[in-house]
Amino acid sequence: MANNQQDNILNNRYRLDAQHGSGGMSVIYKATDLALGRLVAIKILRPSLTSDPTFLARFRQEARNVANLQHPNIVTVHDVGQDGNTYYIVMELIDGEDLKKRIRTEAPLPIDKVLDYAIKICAGIGYAHRAGLVHADVKPQNVLLVENNVKVTDFGIAQALAATDPNERKKVVWGSPHYFSPEQAQGRNPTPASDVYSIGIVLFEMLTGRLPFMGTDQQELAWAHIRQTPPHVTEIAPAVPEQLERIVQKVLAKEPAQRYRMADQLGRILINYRDQGLGKTNNQNNPVVVSSPPTLQSAQAKPVQKSPYASPDSPEYTASNAASTPETTAPPTLVKNPMPETTAPNSYTSPNPPNIRESGYYTPVDPPQMDVATLVLAFVAFLAVVGMIILWMLVFQAYY
């Protein structure tokens, strides 16, 4: 930094006022932007990370990409910089608690609250997925609650670290082993499906108040993610609806191809589940108040403009709902190398679409009923056919 008298000021612009939090990869400060006169949050990388030139180059690129993400469910990045050996990110300051604290004090959370949080998490992360970014460190500590909104933070650092040499990764604590996907635990690069798995862990924790896998160290936790079958949500919280449990079980599948491949897909499943009023608890003595399930006709006629996923880039978007859906902002075009094992943003199509009947949101449809006029016409046609057969037989006998 500049000198001893100003050791709490970065680049003569950002004054560090107080420590706001910390993690394995960074320390967060509440700060003042002296140039613009506004409060901001500054995340300073730990020195153990900044000694790797490969990581620093990838970190700068990821930070620039994240700065292009403008979404109500993503913490805005204002700036990224360096002051001597200090590397930092400047973000909007969120005056609220993180989801982990809410889970510790209130879990298991009500079903409607779980769905609200999860849908907004999927909206933010899904927007990043369409822009070609993977979060790679989804956990409740990176989900900030502010008033009636949810904002996801800490994009880029874990993804940048995941691209460095595996031997270097072992020297630092990267990510959170409790929320790792199996492929991350095996040292493979994270994909959008990896974020979906981590969202599933967060869902499990909100519904039950505990994590699905426990271990004494990182290696034991990694082995659990790779090999152990997660417990059923209803084994811990019997009041959770079975349909919602099936969704959680699907996103916790060991193989990425067996999950929803992007957060957008999971978000749409949860919206559909919520809108059909299926959030009733198994314990009828303590039900969650929800609306009654709509009929299939009313569900189809329901306006879709409230969904954060209804955009021309969404696979489910059709011309039939384009007129009733407000125009949404397309994901930003980012300058970065395409991620392995993923396709171009906005053209992603899952090779393994969800099984509707197994997901708990399938609505059976009664077979169509024939009216009286149809029955009469069918009977007349039948008599005509019989008459033709009899006439043909008489002609045949007369001829021979």
Q: pLDDT of 352-399, one tens digit each?
A: 433 433 333 333 334 445 566 777 888 888 888 888 888 888 888 787
Locate 86 and state its tokens. 């200090």
> Active-site positions?
137
pLDDT over threshold 70, residue 328: no
* Average pLDDT over every residue of 139-163: 82
Q: What is the dihedral of CA 215, 195, 257, 191, to 10 degrees?
A: -110
Q: Is 1.10.510.10 the CATH classification of the domain at 96-359?
A: yes
Domain boundaries, the chain: 96-359
Locate 292 and state its tokens. 């009654």
Alpha carbon distance 133, 334 (integer Å): 9
Judged by average pLDDT, the poorest of 14-18, 152-156, 170-174, 238-242 is 170-174
Alpha carbon distance 201, 266 (integer Å): 13
Report how many helices (DSSP H) and strands (DSSP E) the chain contains, helices first. 15, 8
Residue 51 confidence (pLDDT): 82
Locate 340 and state its tokens. 């392995």
* Average pLDDT over every residue of 80-100: 92
Locate 229 and state its tokens. 């079958």
Q: What is the dihedral of CA 99, 334, 172, 229, to 10 degrees?
A: 60
**Contact indicator for 97, 186 with CB cutoff of 8 Å:** no
State the DSSP string of 298-320.
Answer: HHHHS--TT-TT-STTSTT--HH
What's the pTM?
0.67
* Average pLDDT over every residue of 155-160: 66
Alpha carbon distance 250, 361 (integer Å): 13
**Contact indicator for 109, 207 with CB cutoff of 8 Å:** yes
**HSE value, Cβ hemisphere, 13 Å, CA-based, for 135:** 33
Residue 300 confidence (pLDDT): 39
- Mean pLDDT value across the chain: 77
Q: Strands 26-33 and 9-10, how do they pair? A: unpaired
pLDDT over threshold 90, residue 308: no
Greater model confidence, 362 or 123:
123
Q: What is the DSSP letter of 258?
A: G
pLDDT over threshold 70, residue 5: no
Model confidence pLDDT, tens digit, residues 164-214: 545 444 444 345 899 989 999 998 889 999 999 999 999 999 999 999 999
Query: pLDDT band for position 305 (50/70/90)?
Result: very low
Whole-angstrom CA distances from 306 to 139, 234, 251, 309, 325 are 26, 30, 24, 9, 8
